[in-house]
Each structure stands twice: as structure tokens, then as C-alpha cells.
Amino acid sequence: MRRLLSAIAAGWAMAAPAQPAAVPPPPAPVALSSSAEKVYAQAKPRLIQVRTLLASANRQSTIGSGFVVGPDGVAVTNYHVVSQFALEPQTYRLEYRAPDGASGPLALLAFDVVHDLAVVRLDKPLAVHFEFDPRAVDGTLAKGERLYSMGNPLDLGFTIVEGTYNGLVDRSYNEQVHFSGALNAGMSGGPTVTGEGRVAGVNVAVSRRGQLVSFLVPARHADALVKRAREPLALDAKGTRAELGRQLAAWQAGFHRDLAGTGFKPAIFGAYRAPESQAPWFQCWASTNADAVPRPRYRSSNTQCSTQSEIFVTQSLSSGRVEVTHEHLVALDLHALQFASIVTERAQARSGEAGSRKHLTRPRCVTEPLRPPEGSSRPPVLARFCARAYRDFDGLFNATLTTVTQDRQAEALVSRLSMQGVTWENALALSRRFLGEIRWAK
């Protein structure tokens, strides 16, 4: 770590100067249409509840849903529904329950952690199974088409929910379908089907910020995983971790290549100019204390931009997220020492140093002042780089670069770049580009 910031700052000094609203009450229940009744009657024998049980107590730990897609008992669910078993098969076991009360063990055949999918096999085949809708696989479903989502919410029994297909979510790096329907806990992994009963997507998540805003994994990803599962991997604990690491590493390589291709755009913060990504997958928010009462002793203006790309690995570990934050601070009624104390507090790196020690090593950090040569367009900064290695996935890290401008007694810019599940090389490359874009505004 000793020369790390020097590596990030390589070329930095010599580069040429640069030119939520309140949530409304839930809507009243809507009676099912006759179409929904027909769809559910046809689909019911193809549905299963997926249960993860603590083996020692024979009691369920998590529940989800699934659906049979082959005559040999092959079924689809979410990866997050079976993740406990996948990573700790000596502690947990998988079981299914069918609507007719039949139950039995499940075997894990394959998973796609990026798209939150898993393929399992029942201990005996069912008489009927679902098919994927060809239009959903090809991406040609019409926006506004009526869809029907099924699953077992809150372990209350199998249900059907009507909703609307609204195409792929904008500003999401990983493909998700926007489904205007009411998904609930326990429905994860269940199917959402067309009026003909063919699978259009897999239930995966719901937004807590709005009503009837739910998300599906596109059918084409489930169809592809089912085909890959015909040659199942050896998914014991060691094999699962190796495959998870391979999938996460491959995803981050493509993501950071695409991110580098979009570049940064400048944002002005008082006397400073700082980078924000031009990638369309970032969602940005801003806040200020300018209107606070009583009048604050310093003004704080914040921006936070983060990617819609987080990947569930375990309940205490996620990967794939990149976040950029800037906080512009101006002293209003503070002397220099008081203001310096506020800036120091704001600069404490948090994102890259947080996380479970079960999955991440202790953070290793290096702090170094970086002073450009006279005449440079860059202000002097104090830079701190921290990294934590993934214990189970060699070569992947959570990393954070925090910078604080050092040239003014009553004004400062605190900037932070946080990266999850990134290789060392990609973390350094993105940090280097980020640092090089922190400049004076004029």
C-alpha cells in the first residue's frame, strides 16, 4: 500500500490544465378478471414453493417461489432464494412444496448471480410444465400488455396478481423488466406469464418508494440458464464459491470497461470542479442545509450518484455498486480550526471500510497529501485509499478513494469514489481517472 497513492496519482501533476415525496395509501384491492382465473387454473400445477431449511432444526429459514419448466422436474427460482444453501450446504437444505401438498428435496443445478436466477430439480417430475414466451425471449413483448404474476406471498398460499408489462427499466445496467403489479415477499422466483400462460419474466424485487412498482428478470436470461443447466456444475460449497467468483469477476470486467468508455463530466462546486460519470446507469440526488433553521454555522451542499447495478451475493454481502459523492463545505460562522474539524469529520471514509468481517478482510488504508506543481489547474488534496479483499472470491475488493481539498481555510470539497466487487487493477484505474478530474473551477 505504501506507493499506492503515487500509482493512482501517476501523471496527475504533469497533465495539462483543462479547459422524495410522501407515499400515498395503498390502492383498494381489485377483483381478478376471468382471464386471471383461467391463467391461474392452468398454471397452478406448475408452481412450487421453495423453502430453505436449517438442517439441524428442520425449520425454514427463508421461503420463495419457483416454477417447473421441464418434464424432468427442472424448475426456476431466484438465486437469492437458494443462496444460503448454495454457500453453506452443510448447514441448510432445500425443499419444495407443490400446491397439491406434495413435497420433496431440491437439487441445485446452476445459478446466475448477476441476474439473480437459479435452476433446481425436483426429486420427481411433474405432469405439466411452463414454456417461455418466444416474444419475451426475443424482447418483442408490447409495452402495456397484461401480465399475471404468481407465487406464495408471506407463506399464505399461492396467489395470482394482475399487472402491466412496461418494458426494460431505464438507467439500469443489468436488465430488469418494470412490472406494474403488487409483488410481495415470498413471491420471489415465481413466474410472471402472458395471457396464454407462457413465462414473460421471473419475479425478483419490488420498489419501496412507490406503489405497484415491481421488477422481473427478463425471460431470456432464465431460458439461457435452463439450457446451461443441462450440463450441471459440481455445486458443492467449494464449487459454488468458485463459480460465484468467476461470474462476479467476469461481470465487473465488462462493467468497468463500459464505465471507462463513457468518461466523466465536470460538476461545479464553488471554487472547485469535480467528476461525475456520464454513464446512463447512475442515479443522482442532491441536498443542502441552506434553508435549515436555525441558520447553520456552515453551508453543506451534497450530491450522490450511484449505479443501479448492485448484485446480491449473500444477505450480508453485495457487489457491483459504484458510488460517487461530493460535499461542498463553506464556513459561515466558524473560525479556521472549527471548520477544519468539520471537514475532517466529513472526510472519514465509510463506504469502503464498512461490511461484514465474515466476507471481507480488515480494511487497509493509505493516506497521502498530493501537491501539484505551481501553475497546475489542480488544487492540493489529501487523498485516502482503502481496500478490503473478499475472503471467498480471490482477486475482488471493495475499495474507496476519498479526497479533501487543502487550499482554503473557509471552503473545502470532500469527494468520494466507492467501488464494490472490483479487481485491484480496475480499482486503481478508475481512482486514477477520478483523481485527475478534481480541479479548480477557473
Pick from 365, 329, 361: which is nearest to 350 by CA? 365
43-75: per-residue pLDDT in tens? 999 999 999 999 999 899 999 999 999 999 999
Q: If 0-12 CB within 10 Å is exposed, 13-18 middle and 19+ buried, where does residue 425 land?
A: exposed
pLDDT in tens, 267-283: 999 999 999 999 999 99
**Residue 325 pLDDT class (50, 70, 90 cuts):** very high
pLDDT band at 426 (very low <50, low <70, confident <90, very high): very high
**pLDDT reported for residue 249:** 98
Per-residue pLDDT band at 20 (split at 50, 70, 90): very low
Alpha carbons 389 and 366: distance in angstroms, whole number: 15
CATH of domain 34-235: 2.40.10.120
pLDDT of residue 442: 79
Domain assignments of the chain as residue spans, ordered by start: 4-19+244-440, 34-235
**Size of the chain in residues:** 442
DSSP assignment letter at 271: T
At residue 234, the pLDDT reads 74
Nearest to 123 by CA among 101, 100, 96: 96
Residue 11, pLDDT > 70, answer: no
- DSSP H helical ranges for 159-208: none
Q: pTM for the complete prediction? A: 0.90
Residue 21 has pLDDT above 60, yes or no: no
pLDDT of residue 97: 96
Q: What is the mean pLDDT of residues 386-404?
A: 96
**Per-residue model confidence (pLDDT) at position 350:** 61
Q: For 225-264, what is each residue's pLDDT tens digit?
A: 999 998 877 788 889 999 999 999 999 999 999 999 999 9
When mean pLDDT is compared across 9-13, 247-251, 340-344, 433-437, the lowest value belongs to 9-13
* pLDDT classification of 8: cutoffs 50, 70, 90: confident
Query: For the segment 86-125, what is each residue's pLDDT rounded down to a tens digit?
Result: 999 999 999 999 999 999 999 999 999 999 999 999 999 8
CA 340/CA 407 separation, integer angstroms: 12
Q: What is the pLDDT of residues 198-213, one digit of tens each?
A: 999 999 999 877 788 9
Residue 58 is given by DSSP the state: T
